[in-house]
Structure 1
């Protein structure tokens, strides 16, 4: 879905919640294959039985990727992603957990590189089925100003 929102259209506190996505064994295997991260924490059931969590934990980068992907339901042709700051892996995610993402606009600022644009900071919280935040990051968008259109 396309939705044009200029810098001026964003308000601090605005937000949305995505639908859920259940994490599977296949997610672990595919992500390990894509990244080369075959650490036993993600891939070795027997090893993880001896560790405090007692079971395999999802790759943090996989949780991040899926959490971001869940937010990709709106295309804004006057904005682009500038990157992510302050990412934290807060709690483990396990096979069978269902996650969703909540995003909230937390800041707006001038873009020092582009006079016709501003930066919008969106807090991204990935949340499990228990309502616990498992990953948090700040997503920075560069968004055109209305008067430059």
Structure 2
């Protein structure tokens, strides 16, 4: 089981990479949980008539995988997200295998924040997502 790191255990440059195949089940669960029934995600005929030619996996679901990897594999769940920015640079289709690379780009001791970035690429090497976000960690407890 992953042990969360404290702010002091982290450093700029720490990184992790992980791959995941985006399945129909992933999309169905996300769509059911969020109510995001956009036709490009659920209607094959509609999606087939778009420039993509087939259904897309929900982009924000894919973005959420970056934060999941950050907390489960790199920093733990102690920090709180205070800003998230995502750029959807390419389509993600069901059954695509996406490789996520997540890293700590900056670390600020005075505010106990880190800025993390991510890049995601499909199995053909096409970048499909970029991210940059800020995570704030609690202050150290002062001994009484």
Taking structure 2 as the reference length, what is the TM-score of the superposition? 0.80
Q: Tell me how far apart the structure 2 counterparts of residues 23 and 2 of structure 1 sit (CA, whole Å).
A: 26
Unmatched segments (≥5 aa) in structure 2: none
Map 1:20-99; keep pairs closer than 5 Å. 20-71=19-70, 72-74=72-74, 76=76, 79-99=78-98
CA contact (8 A) 1:12 1:107 kept: yes
Equivalent residue, structure 1, for 2:120: 126
Q: Tell me how far apart the structure 2 counterparts of residues 12 and 70 of structure 1 sit (CA, whole Å).
A: 17
Map 1:104-123; keep pairs closer than 5 Å. 104-109=103-108, 110-111=110-111, 118-123=112-117
Aligned length: 140
CA contact (8 A) 1:15 1:103 kept: yes
Q: Secondary structure at the match of 1:73?
A: helix
**Which of 129, 137, 140 is the aligned partner of 1:135?**
129
Unmatched segments (≥5 aa) in structure 1: 112-117
Question: In the TM superposition, what is the alpha-carbon distance from 1:56 to its structure 2 partner?
Answer: 0.5
CA contact (8 A) 2:83 2:135 kept: no
CA contact (8 A) 1:6 1:146 kept: no
Q: Tell me how far apart the structure 1 counterparts of residues 86 and 105 of structure 2 sit (CA, whole Å).
A: 15
